Amino acid sequence: MKKKASPLKQQPMMSPPMARPRFNPETLRRWAVQMGALLALLLLVGYLSLASPHFLTPGNIANVARQTAVTTILAAGQTFVILSGGIDLSVAATAGLSASVAAVLMTSQVWILGVPIGPVPFGVGMIIAMLVGLLVGLLNGLIITKGRIPDFIATLGTLTTMRGIALLVTGGLPVPSHLTATELRGYLPPELIWMGAGDVFGIPVAGLIALGVIVVGWCILRYTAFGRAIYAVGGNREAARVSGINIDRTKIMVYMLSGLLAALAGMVLTGRLNSANALMGEGEELRSIAATVIGGANLFGGQGSLLGTLIGALVIGVLGNGLNLLNVSAFWQRVIQGLVIIGVVIFDQWRRRRFGA
Amino acid sequence: MAEERRLLLRMEQIDKRFPGVHALDHVDFDLYEGEIHVLLGENGAGKSTLMKILSGAISRDSGRIWIGGREGLVEVSDLTPERTRALGIGMVYQELSLVPYLSVAENIFLGGLPRTRWGAVDWAQTYHRAWQRLQDLGVSIDPRAQVRELSVAEQQLTEIARVLESHPRILVLDEPTSALSDTERTRLFELIRRLRDRGVGIIYISHRLAEIPLIGDRVTVLRDGKRIATLPVTEVDEDRLIQMVVGRKLTEQYPWRNNVRGEALLRVENLSLPGVLRNVSFTLHEGEIVGVFGLMGAGQNELARALCGLEPRYTGRIFIANQLIHLRHPWDAIRQGVGLLPRDRRDGLVPLLPIPPNITLGQLCLGSPFRILNLRQEIQIANTYVERLHIHPPILNRPVFYLSGGNQQKVVLARWLCSNVRLLVLDDPTRGIDVGAKAEVFTLMEELSQRGVGILFVSSEMEELLAMANRILVLRQGQISAEYQRGEATEEDLLRSASYEKSNGGSR
Ligand SMILES: Nc1ncnc2c1ncn2[C@@H]1O[C@H](COP(=O)(O)OP(=O)(O)OP(=O)(O)O)[C@@H](O)[C@H]1O
Ligand SMILES: [Mg+2]
């Protein structure tokens, strides 16, 4: 008897792998996943263009882009974390801390261990902010993986801690304040202001930065081993472990990325406001989570996309802007924003159950 | 005999479509009192879908269902899981549905724990009754143990015990034996026959054709969502069944086995794990398939896990290609070229990712996390295995979550077949896989061994071991109790060496 090839191979398969059309039902279905948020966004834009003559003006659009930029950058980091099955409540606090530290160093001279430092130029300030962000992320990651503390608790802890440290660093004053502004150089570097409030060819720089973050992040998620590992860890931890993926390292890297983006967001915000303060961006952590969830991500991990998150951030940003234009009172704004978040997510859940996601 | 039997269930022209798949194409099915009706078909044929429609877990597109009661058949239109439970339908799903963080007893009585007079949970009663239920199945599992600590086989038995607790009149068992070894299976069959004799109607799904003459009364074959035939078991033989299932003749289940044997590849010395393995030593050569057989809990699964870095607390020495290695994490093993197909397949897949990333998941840890993935090559690999293992439907961008149970297994299997492993540890590779794909799995194993890959083949299917392995190691209570060369042993030999009551002083 000679080595027999399996009889199965000799015959054509019963159902040959059907010629796969480029556009199969699955592609449609995946588009539908983002539909909830997209629909909300389109409705919102449509309504506001009719309701307010100011909404579709170039000035206002730039304004929306600038306001949404910070939420988008934070939400991008949050999306990485949520995809990996975690949650990062400390993003806004990290933004505040890194911006505060950088702002203090850029506007005044401080003595550290007897060495006078600062005022540092923009580039150095930027690097310092990023390092602070990475450090907080590393801390979060280590507490969660090595200390085996749930993500929610760990980042809640760092949230408070980082706000405290930021208050210590700034003395509770805005930076630059009337105190520091008189010393030495005293003012924030113009590049920073440009980052937050300037534009190129009429396009807000902050918006471009946010867009860049989304594009780069999307590539990381789709094309790198790290991005794939995030989906695996968030989608099924056991499978990731058995497949040899270093879960701890992946999680730590994800939190560091989130910290890094938080620092970037903090700098953009500082530029826009022309000042940093320890408590800046309060509430942004929840908005970043909301944007991610509106964008179709699963809070248990493993499912979601940065494209969805961008749409989610826009929904929140456009809504806030529109309510301002329509002179809705600040109290009602909160109520409406909350209801919209709930509404979009309910619609999303219903659609997934109905059509399968 | 047939004239007195009453119909318990009639399903007529059941039709169901999923996006891109016609899962059930006007299928008829019925079940009599005191009958065991076997449902057979390839992976993805629609067996589980039909049963989920019966249990109300998913809704049908069209078709009618009648269920027999005291007043004869009654048509039911809206089936929900609550409704079907009230109608006396008990369902053991293919995917286990236990709550991992609750105890065995709590799972068995989920939702209806025995109460004391004061309305508090009667724990003594709960544990006692759970213990009895499990005894009926012939297993001793501690009712207080948490479910997530149990082996797959034990979980499967717990699940069965839970469904039996509701005293169903119609019992559906969707691949209940896929994780069980022969002994547990025999006990389960005895129980099923007892239930049948009490008039319970049983629908039984399995890919193990050898089981069918043992317990089936009638058999229905599905293929591509269509009913091919319904016949009394006495009128069919295995070849005929295979032909109906795969739609063509299938002569050879097992490939011709080569006896190439190269250098020593894996050497295990005095491998021990507290309470599970004791001083296990053996050598595996390049191109060799070494079978491992043992009863439930004999340590074969832990042996496989230890070799893949999943049991970091082992003692003893493991050499790969004459080099001492420490296996503390799965990536230690994978970087040494060791691949593991784990026993618990839920540990294998990332459900929301599509087929290609799931197949290449094992290669993710090789190299820097910042490297760029070769998505095109990934799709190519996926296409190859989708075709060879008949993974159906072959839609490469849909989450594997939507594949049928057996097709999911094939995806996990493909992961290790495609990687460049030197040593492959397969724990029950054919579990849940249909006959056609099984033959292909064996052919692939043979191809790998020709290329010099060593395979440690753990299985509870003695027939497979005898056909495929160059050598078979038998484990008993964590120790190697016998070793057989190819062709030396029979199933009786394996069973005798595996069970404890002792012949030649193997006492502890
Ligand atoms: N929720 C779903 N969405 C889309 N397709 C589905 C869904 N559930 C099942 N299918 C498809 O329906 C078909 C029948 O699946 P089913 O689970 O009934 O197969 P099966 O006969 O039980 O196979 P196996 O032996 O592998 O368990 C398969 O092609 C499967 O991919
Ligand atoms: Mg099935």
Q: What is the band of A10 on the pLDDT scale with cuts at 50, 70, 90? A: very low
Nearest to A174 by CA among A269, A264, A265, A261: A269
- Output the average pLDDT for chain B: 88
Tens digits of per-residue pLDDT, B17-47?
A: 988 889 999 999 999 999 999 999 999 999 9
Q: Nearest chain B residue to A225 by CA: give it.
A: B369
- Is A242's CB within 8 Å of B348's CB? yes
Alpha helices, DSSP H only, in B419-490? 435-450, 462-468
How do residues B231-258 score in pLDDT, each as one tens digit? 999 998 888 888 888 887 776 778 877 7
Does residue B507 lie within any of the structural domains? no
Please count the structural domains in chain A.
1
DSSP calls for A274-294: TSB-TTTTTTHHHHHHHHHHH
- A179-192 mean pLDDT: 71
Share of chain B above pLDDT 90, in %: 42
Q: Are strands B62-69 and B72-76 parallel, antiparallel or unpaired?
A: antiparallel
Q: What is the rounded average pLDDT of the residues A179-191?
A: 69
| B274 and B145 within one domain | no
Q: Does a structural domain hold residue A335?
A: yes
Chain A residues within 8 A of B252 when measuring between CB atoms: 4, 6-7
Find chain A residues with C-beta within 8 A of B331's C-beta.
244-246
* A21 in any annotated domain: no
Averaged pLDDT for residues B476-493: 91
Q: Which residue of B has its CA nearest to A30?
A: B398
How many structural domains does chain B have?
Answer: 2
Instruction: Tell me, yes or no, whether A38 lies in a domain.
Output: no
- Residue B435 in this model has a pLDDT that exceeds 70: yes
Asked if B327 and B442 sit in the same domain, the reply is yes
DSSP B154-177: HHHHHHHHHHHHT--SEEEEESTT
Contacts of A246 in chain B (CB under 8 A): 329, 331, 365
Phi, psi of B481, deg, nearest 5: -100, -15
Q: Give tens-digit pLDDT for B350-374.
A: 999 999 999 999 888 888 989 999 9
pLDDT of residue A85: 95
Percent of chain B with pLDDT over 70: 96
Q: How confident is the model at residue A27 (pLDDT cuts 50, 70, 90)?
A: low
Decide if pLDDT at A355 tops 50.
yes
To the nearest whole Å, the CA of A242 is away from the closest chain B CA by 6
In a domain, A210, yes or no: yes
For residue A260, what is the domain's CATH number? 1.10.3470
In a domain, B145, yes or no: yes
Query: Does residue B502 surpass a pLDDT of 60?
Result: no
- According to the model, what pLDDT value does residue A342 have? 87
Sign of the CA dihedral running A302, B407, B176, B440: negative
B400-410 tens-digit pLDDT: 988 988 898 88
> Is B437 part of any domain?
yes
Residues B225 and B293 in one domain: no
What residue of B is the nearest CA neighbor of A242? B330
Is residue B466 in some structural domain? yes
Q: Does residue B84 register a pLDDT over 90?
A: no
Last residue of a domain, one of B216, B246, B276: B246
Chosen domain end from B184, B213, B246: B246
Asked if residue B322 is part of any domain, the answer here is yes
Does residue B507 surpass a pLDDT of 50?
Answer: no
Min mean pLDDT across A20-34, A210-224, B97-111, B424-438 is at A20-34
What's the mean pLDDT when you consider all of chain A? 87
Q: Which positions 253-312 of B are in contact with A (Cβ < 8 Å)?
A: 255-256, 258, 308-310
In this structure, the answer to whether residues B224 and B292 fall within a common structural domain is no
- Contacts of residues B346-349 at CB distance under 8 Å and 24 or more positions apart, as own/partner, are B346/A236, B346/A238, B346/B95, B346/B96, B347/A236, B347/A238, B347/A239, B347/A241, B347/A242, B348/A239, B348/A242, B348/B411, B348/B412, B348/B415, B349/A236, B349/A239, B349/B400, B349/B408, B349/B411, B349/B412
Q: What is the pLDDT of residue A356?
A: 53
Ligand approaching nearest to the C-alpha of B398 = 1
The CATH number that applies at residue B385 is 3.40.50.300
What is the per-residue pLDDT for A178?
Answer: 61
Q: Decide if A102 is inside a domain.
A: yes
Say how far apart CA A276 and CA B268 lie, in whole Å: 62
Nearest-by-Cβ selection for A243 from B249, B362, B367 = B362
Q: In this predicted structure, what is the pLDDT of residue B28?
A: 95
Condensed to tens digits (0 to 9), the pLDDT of residues B56-78 reads: 889 999 999 999 877 778 888 88
In a domain, B251, yes or no: no
Distance CA B323, CA A227 (A): 34
Crossing angle (nearest 10°) for helices A205-223 and A190-197: 80
With CA atoms as reference, the chain B residue closest to A12 would be B387
Answer yes or no: is A65 within a domain.
yes
Instruction: Tell me, yes or no, whether B70 and B141 share the same domain.
Output: yes
Instruction: Tell me if B440 sits within 8 A of A6, measured CB to CB.
Output: yes
Q: Is residue B319 domain-shared with residue B457, that is, in the same domain?
A: yes
The answer to whether residue A19 sits within a structural domain is no
Minimal CA separation from B143 to chain A, in Å: 25
On the question of pLDDT at B436 being above 90, the answer is no
In a domain, A221, yes or no: yes
Same domain, yes or no: B242 and B269: no
Residue A81's domain comprises 56-355
CA dist A111 → A98, A175, A187, B255 (Å) = 18, 17, 19, 78
Kindly determine whether residue B365 and residue A245, on different chains, have CB atoms separated by under 8 Å.
Answer: yes
Q: Which residues line ligand 1 (CB under 6 A)?
A: A 356; B 18, 21, 23, 41, 43-49, 94, 392-393, 402-407
Residues B413 and B485 in one domain: yes
Is residue B393, in this structure, part of any structural domain at all?
yes
Measure B415 CA to nearest chain A CA, in Å.
9
Looking at residue A14, its pLDDT comes to 36
Region of poorest pLDDT, from A10-19, A124-133, B266-275: A10-19
CA B388-B393-B396 angle, 5° bins: 80
B126, B115 Cβ separation under 8 angstroms: no
- pLDDT cut 90: percent of chain A above it: 67
pLDDT per residue as tens digits for the range A60-94: 999 999 989 999 999 999 999 999 999 999 999 99
Higher pLDDT, A330 or B342: A330
Q: Are both B237 and B268 inside the same structural domain?
A: no
Of the residues A2, A3, A4, A6, the best mutation for testing chain B's interface (the one with the most B CB atoms within 10 Å of its CB) is A6
For tokens 């809705």, name the residue.
A328
Interatomic CA distance for residues B408 and B400, integer angstroms: 7
CA of B182 to the centre of ligand 1 (A): 27
Please tell me whether residues B296 and B224 are part of one structural domain: no
Quick one: pLDDT at residue A7? 39
- Residue A162 confidence class, pLDDT cut points 50, 70, 90: very high
| Res A349 pLDDT > 80 | no
Closest CB to A223 among B349, B373, B398: B373
Expressed in angstroms and rounded, the spacing between residue B347 Cα and the centre of ligand 1 is 20
Judged by CB atoms closer than 8 Å, whether chains meet at A26 and B19 is answered as yes
Residue B207 shares a structural domain with residue B343: no
Q: Which domain holds residue B183?
A: 7-246
Mean pLDDT confidence for B170-187:
84
Q: Which among B364, B411, B415 is the top mutation candidate for probing chain A, defined by the most A β-carbons within 10 Å of its own β-carbon?
A: B364
Residue B504 lies in a domain: no
According to the model, what pLDDT value does residue B397 have? 87
The length of chain B is 508
Which of A109-113, A214-218, A224-228, B502-506 is the least confident region?
B502-506
Q: From CA B162, how far away is CA B178, in angstroms rounded?
A: 18
Average pLDDT over residues A24-42: 69
